């Protein structure tokens, strides 16, 4: 006797529902049973695909976080500003309030961590491209510690959101961008 036919849209419906719940209520409030109920699915449908909340959220972020645009402004400073502005918009989303819980859970799940790290690498590619363009234009020399540049740009945004609960102001974003630009070029930046 054959079982129930498999619903080809179920996984997408579950992911979409989880994204909606995550963006509305945050990571801490998200429950797999709630995802199943709102997606009009069985709890086993969720648990069969994602044995933990962290694994589901890693897949949700991987699918729904918009890519960071690769903007070529013609200058390293302009590219850094565009990158930081996009990051600031992402960090200003309410779902980030539960990010500490997500990151804590992530450390206990290797598969979810691999998914999330791959997402971070993809979202960092526009910065990698901006640095490569700046090297080709002769604005800077090659940057051997490229991940550190991303950390210097995103770290203040993350810190402000996670510990201050507030976004950075445009003036503060300019300070971060110009500081990293100055570090990379070894010169003072004039606005």
pLDDT bucket at 119, cuts 50 / 70 / 90: very high
How many Å apart are CA 73 and CA 64, to the nearest integer?
26
Provide the mean pLDDT of the chain: 90
Domain of residue 69, CATH code = 1.10.357.10
Percent of the chain with pLDDT over 70: 94
Kindly report, residue by residue over 124-171, the tens digit of the pLDDT: 999 999 999 999 999 998 888 888 899 999 999 999 888 888 889 999
- Kindly report, residue by residue over 168-183, the tens digit of the pLDDT: 999 999 999 999 999 9
- CA torsion sign for 114, 120, 123, 127 is negative
CA distance 124 to 44: 35
Residues in the chain: 191
In this model, does residue 3 exceed pLDDT 60?
no
Query: If 0-12 CB within 10 Å is exposed, 13-18 middle and 19+ buried, where does residue 146 land?
Result: middle
Answer whether residue 160 is part of any domain: yes
pLDDT value of residue 1? 45
Same domain flag for 37 and 91: no
The verdict on 21 and 89 lying in the same domain is no
* CATH number of residue 46's parent domain: 1.10.10.60
Q: Are residues 41 and 69 both part of a single domain? A: no
Tell whether 177 and 88 lie within a shared domain. Answer: yes
Do residues 101 and 18 share a domain? no
Inside any domain, residue 125: yes
Looking at the structure, tell me whether residues 44 and 110 fall in a common domain.
no
Q: What average pLDDT score do residues 95-118 get?
A: 89
Residue 140 is assigned to a structural domain of this protein: yes
CA dist 32 and 131 (Å) reads: 40
Q: How do the residues of the chain divide into helix, strand and coil, expressed in percent and rounded to 5?
A: 70, 0, 30
- 133, HSE (Cβ side, Cα atoms, 13 Å): 17
Specify whether 164 is located in the same domain as 100. Answer: yes
Q: Within a domain: residue 190?
A: no
C-alpha 153/C-alpha 14 separation (Å) is: 33
- Domain containing residue 107: 65-185
């Amino acid at each position: 006797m054959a079982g129930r036919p498999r619903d080809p849209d179920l996984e997408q419906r579950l992911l979409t529902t989880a994204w909606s719940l995550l963006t509305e209520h945050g990571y801490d409030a998200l429950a797999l049973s709630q995802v199943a109920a709102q997606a009009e699915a069985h709890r086993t449908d969720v648990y069969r695909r994602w044995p933990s909340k962290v694994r589901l959220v890693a897949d949700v972020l991987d699918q729904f976080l918009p890519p960071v645009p690769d903007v070529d402004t013609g200058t390293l400073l302009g590219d850094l500003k565009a990158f930081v502005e996009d990051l600031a918009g992402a960090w200003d989303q309410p779902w980030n309030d539960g990010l500490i819980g997500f990151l804590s859970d992530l450390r206990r799940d290797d598969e979810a961590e691999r998914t999330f790290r791959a997402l971070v690498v993809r979202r960092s590619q526009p910065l990698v491209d901006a640095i490569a363009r700046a090297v080709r234009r002769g604005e800077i020399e090659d940057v051997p510690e490229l991940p550190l540049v991303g950390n210097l740009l995103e770290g203040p945004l993350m810190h402000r959101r996670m510990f201050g609960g507030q976004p950075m102001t445009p003036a503060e974003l300019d300070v971060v961008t110009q500081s990293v630009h100055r570090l990379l070029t070894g010169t003072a930046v004039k606005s």
